[in-house]
Amino acid sequence: MILCSNPECQTTAGCQCNPGARLAAEEQQIMQKALRSSVNVKRKFKLNDRVRKIKGSSWQGRVRGFYSTSLTLDGIAVESERELGNVQIYPAVAFELMQPAERQLTYWGTPIADLSDNEIRRALRQLPDGASPELVDIRVALEAEAARRADKPTDNAS
């Protein structure tokens, strides 16, 4: 690999035209070594895993990318879930895997399990078919709750 920007020079290291060529060559060797060693790195996390920093400063969010250096073979870029768009890089060993956030589905702010039978029927009539994935999730939850209640014996049954 030619490091010098002078087209007359074909030196690959220690060029007199470019005093920084020796440093550039050393940096490239370090990066190539890191890249070769990172090919075989067993990653602790997968892309989009939800993680939290174990100790020290607080940082939690989703893994958005990976990096390797000569000192940190398994590094991760984590996007904060508290400050969306903010990303910090850390060694993967500084983090632990978090369970996915539990999401309680609600219909207009009311947990689906707390809706009356009439509210569930009305909600199912009002929700359009083929809507966004979130609305489909709500429809499925409403239908499951209605089915659960239909299968549950009432106190008035004789």
Any idea which residues carry the catalytic annotation? Answer: 53, 88-90
Contact 143, 127 (CB under 8 A): no
Closest C-alpha among 113, 109, 58, 47 to residue 80: 58
Instruction: Scan for tokens 């550039």, then name that residue.
Output: 24
- Rounded CA-CA distance 16/96 in Å is 49
Closest C-alpha among 105, 148, 154 to residue 127: 105
